């Protein structure tokens, strides 16, 4: 992997500051802002790894700070139905024919 130039590093830092400022204001959206912009200076796999790691760290920090204010009953309901949806999605994806082609 090649290292970033000084200009690339400054661009990376500005993008991440802007992306996490949006996340601070809206509660989501850091990856939506950062990924397309970081693809200009980093390989996509590296940009995905960086944004995923930083988003996970900030999420853990936010939950550790505000865990008493989480609506756990609503969270459990959402997690339950999300798990069902993920399971169904994986089941239907496995049923697809990998050799099928578009006409």
The pLDDT tens digits for 30-52 are 999 999 999 999 999 999 999 99
**Residue 31 belongs to some domain of the structure:** yes
**Residue 1 belongs to some domain of the structure:** no
**Residue 43 belongs to some domain of the structure:** yes
**Of 50, 46, 45, which Cα lies nearest the Cα of 20?**
50
The mean per-residue pLDDT over the stretch 25-29 comes to: 87
Cα–Cα distance measured from residue 72 to residue 61, given in angstroms and rounded to the nearest whole number: 17
Cα–Cα distance measured from residue 40 to residue 84, given in angstroms and rounded to the nearest whole number: 37
Q: Is the pLDDT of residue 22 over 90?
A: yes
Cα–Cα distance measured from residue 26 to residue 59, given in angstroms and rounded to the nearest whole number: 14
**Residue 101 belongs to some domain of the structure:** no
Burial grade of 6 (CB within 10 A; 0-12, 13-18, 19 or more) = exposed
The beta-carbon contacts of 85-94 under 8 Å, at least 24 apart in sequence, are: none
**Residue 71 belongs to some domain of the structure:** yes
Q: Would you list the DSSP string of 3-32?
A: PPPHHHHHHHHHHHHHHHHHHHHHSS-HHH
User: Structural domain tally of the chain?
Assistant: 1
pLDDT band for position 2 (cuts 50, 70, 90): low
Residue 23: domain span: 6-95
User: Could you report the per-residue pLDDT of 54-88, keeping only the tens digit for each?
Assistant: 999 988 988 888 889 989 999 999 999 999 999 99
């Amino acid at each position: 992997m090649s290292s970033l130039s000084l200009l690339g590093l400054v661009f990376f830092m500005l993008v991440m500051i802007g992306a996490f400022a949006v996340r601070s204001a809206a509660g989501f959206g850091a990856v939506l802002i950062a990924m397309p912009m970081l693809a200009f200076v980093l390989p996509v796999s590296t940009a995905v790894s960086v944004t995923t790691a930083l988003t996970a760290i900030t999420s853990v920090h936010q939950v550790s700070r505000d865990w008493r204010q989480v609506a756990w009953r609503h969270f459990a309901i959402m997690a339950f139905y999300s798990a069902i949806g993920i399971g169904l999605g994986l089941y239907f994806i496995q049923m697809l024919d990998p050799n099928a082609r578009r006409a």
